[in-house]
C-alpha cells in the first residue's frame, strides 16, 4: 500500500445518506479520500459528476427512494464501479445484493464496519492504479 500513498492518487467516493452523522463517520474513516456527499438518492442522481465516482456508499432507508432502488437505477444507467450498501438492518443485505450492490456492511457503529469500508476503498484504489498503469 506504500506505492498507493506515494502515487498521490485519491479515490472519489460518493456517500449517500440522509443522516449527516453517518456521512461524517464515513468521511472520518476515509479521511484521505475525496468524499462527496448527497442527502438522498435523488440528489445523487442529479450530479453531473456521478459517472466519475470511483465508488458509491449508500444507506438503505432514505426519503424519496430506498438504497436498493438507487442501486438498481445506478446499474440501469450503466454505473459499473463498486457500490457498497449499508444498513442498520442486516436483513437488507440480500435486497442490496440482488439490486446489484457489490457488497453490504451492517451499520452497527463498530470499528470493524468502518475499517472494512476503508479496506474496500483502498483495494479499489489499488485496482484503479493497476488499470491506469497497465500496458
Domain of 99, CATH number, reads 3.40.50.2300
Is 132 part of any domain? no
Side-chain half-sphere exposure of 128, counting CA atoms within 13 A: 22
For residue 135, being part of any structural domain is answered with no
Q: Would 67 be classed as within a structural domain?
A: yes
Query: What is the model's pLDDT at position 6?
Result: 55
- In this model, does residue 82 exceed pLDDT 50? yes
Tracing cell 440480500 back to the chain, one arrives at 94
Strand-strand pairing, 55-59 and 83-87: parallel
Q: Any residues with CB less than 8 A from the CB of 65 and at least 6 apart, and which?
A: 40, 41, 42, 73
Nearest-5° angle of CA 108, CA 112, CA 113? 50
Q: What is the mean pLDDT of residues 9-38?
A: 89
As for how many domains the chain has, the answer is 1
- Decide if 134 is inside a domain: no
Q: Give the predicted TM-score (pTM) of the model.
A: 0.86
H-assigned helices in 15-110: 20-29, 41-45, 67-76, 93-99
Q: What is the mean pLDDT of residues 50-56?
A: 90
Q: Show Cβ contacts of residue 92 under 8 Å, excluding neighbours closer than 6 positions.
A: 60, 67, 68, 85, 104
Classify residue 133: in a domain, yes or no.
Answer: no
Element of type H or E holding 133: helix 111-133
Q: Residue 72's domain spans which residues?
A: 2-127
Least trusted range by pLDDT, from 53-57, 73-77, 120-124: 120-124
What value does the mean pLDDT take over residues 47-67? 92
Amino acid at each position: 500500500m506504500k506505492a498507493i500513498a506515494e502515487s498521490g492518487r485519491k479515490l472519489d467516493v460518493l456517500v449517500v445518506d440522509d443522516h449527516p452523522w453517518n456521512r461524517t463517520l464515513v468521511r472520518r474513516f476515509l479521511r484521505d479520500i475525496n468524499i462527496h456527499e448527497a442527502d438522498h438518492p435523488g440528489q445523487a442522481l442529479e450530479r453531473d459528476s456521478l459517472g466519475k465516482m470511483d465508488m458509491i456508499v449508500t444507506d438503505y432507508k432514505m426519503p424519496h427512494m430506498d438504497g436498493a432502488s438507487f442501486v438498481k437505477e445506478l446499474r440501469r444507467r450503466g454505473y459499473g464501479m463498486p457500490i457498497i450498501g449499508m444498513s442498520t438492518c442486516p436483513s437488507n443485505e440480500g435486497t442490496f445484493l440482488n439490486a446489484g450492490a457489490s457488497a453490504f456492511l451492517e451499520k452497527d457503529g463498530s470499528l470493524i464496519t468502518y475499517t472494512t469500508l476503508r479496506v474496500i476503498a483502498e483495494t479499489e484504489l489499488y485496482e484503479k492504479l493497476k488499470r491506469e498503469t497497465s500496458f
